[in-house]
């Protein structure tokens, strides 16, 4: 039986492990870790705030903006936090803030003047 879901756009502070051989730069590597989380539907931005090299990977603190599919019958923020925390390579989820802005980059901005 299919369950209804709700899209949740949020900004969160994460600690995660990025493979040393990840393609692209560090932000791309962090985005690929988040793309591997089942509930994540879109990674909009990654801002790396700290880096700790380890033997097999890079431990990264980052502020990320992303979209998550959460069950419609649950609190969107709590469900998104739980989905991120369960993601492979994600150690800690802090400072989750739901983004209530409507529209995205594809929404045209009307200019007056």
- CA distance linking residue 57 with residue 17, whole number of Å: 6
pLDDT at 98: 86
Q: What three-state secondary structure class fits 73?
A: coil
CA neighbor of 89 nearest in space, from 50, 51, 57, 63: 57
pLDDT at 11: 93
- The number of folded domains in the chain is 1
Specify if 106 maps to a domain.
Answer: no
pTM of the full structure: 0.76
For 92, the domain range is: 5-98
4-43 pLDDT, tens digit each:
777 889 999 999 999 988 888 889 999 999 999 988 999 9
pLDDT at 107: 52
Q: Which position has the higher pLDDT, 71 or 33?
A: 33
Specify if 62 maps to a domain.
Answer: yes
**What CATH number did the domain enclosing 27 receive?**
3.30.70
Asked whether the predicted pLDDT for residue 74 surpasses 80, the reply is no
Specify if 111 maps to a domain.
Answer: no
């Amino acid at each position: 039986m299919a369950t209804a879901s709700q899209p949740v756009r949020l900004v969160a502070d994460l600690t995660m492990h990025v493979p040393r051989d990840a393609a692209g730069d560090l932000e791309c590597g962090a985005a690929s870790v988040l793309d591997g989380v089942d509930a994540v539907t879109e990674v909009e931005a990654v801002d790396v705030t700290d880096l700790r090299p380890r033997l097999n990977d890079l431990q990264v603190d980052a502020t990320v903006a992303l979209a998550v599919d959460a069950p419609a019958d649950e609190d969107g923020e709590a469900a998104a936090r739980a989905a991120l925390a369960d993601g492979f390579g994600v150690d800690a989820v802090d400072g989750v803030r739901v983004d209530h802005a409507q529209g995205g980059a594809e929404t045209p901005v009307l200019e007056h003047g």
